[in-house]
A and B are shown apart, each in its own frame.
Chain A
Amino acid sequence: DAKTTQPPSMDCAEGRAANLPCNHSTISGNEYVYWYRQIHSQGPQYIIHGLKNNETNEMASLIITEDRKSSTLILPHATLRDTAVYYCIVRVARHGQNFVFGPGTRLSVLP
């Protein structure tokens, strides 16, 4: 079973920041937080991952709370093309460790 909890759906206005929360209260010290997204009928796309420090790349920012029990993915200026299902996954950094996907959050960016 997935070790994360996400809201099933969210809406965001185009051009505004989208903040997607994720709870992972049972996360272990050696588990990373990964975010993927899946646009309709395509394969999941890697967004970002982190251990305990906040991370930023060209796609998004990842904010992890100090106790690591929750995190937020931030899309700073959402566009219509960001409409997708967003998956938050915790995973041990170990060779061969697979990803366990939950149902994710369906983000709808509205014009």
Chain B
Amino acid sequence: DAGVTQSPTHLIKTRGQQVTLRCSPKSGHDTVSWYQQALGQGPQFIFQYYEEEERQRGNFPDRFSGHQFPNYSSELNVNALLLGDSALYLCASSADSSGGNNEQFFGPGTRLTVL
């Protein structure tokens, strides 16, 4: 079992550009959540996808959008990048069928640097 995988591992962009990050959930998981972690802080929830729909969203602007595919993999898109978007972006997956009392498994993250 490969666990949660994310690509790319590192990315450098300039202000104003757009970026797409990718995530493949752990086998058997159908729910994907995205988090942003700035240096020295805990992860902050961006949004969650289930059944190809955004089910819940944190306090992030519309520049942050996502998508979930029929195979449960997911993308995070960020438009009009700002310097403050530099962070570690984490993907977490879980099995919704477990009744809610379940843990999320995190991927290794994508380190985004905006110059």
Interface residues on A, range: 20 to 34
What's the nearest-Cβ distance from chain A to residue B110, in Å?
A: 10
B48 at the interface (CB under 8 A from A): yes
What's the nearest-Cβ distance from chain A to residue B4, in Å?
A: 7
Q: Which of B13-21, B63-71, B73-81, B94-102 contacts A (4 or more CB under 8 A)?
A: B94-102
Interface residues on B, range: 20 to 34
Q: Are A42 and B109 in contact (CB under 8 A)?
A: yes
Complex alpha-carbon distance, A27 and B6, angstroms: 33
B104 at the interface (CB under 8 A from A): yes
Q: Are B48 and A96 in contact (CB under 8 A)?
A: yes
Q: Are A102 and B42 in contact (CB under 8 A)?
A: yes
Q: Are A96 and B31 in contact (CB under 8 A)?
A: yes
Q: Are A98 and B101 in contact (CB under 8 A)?
A: no
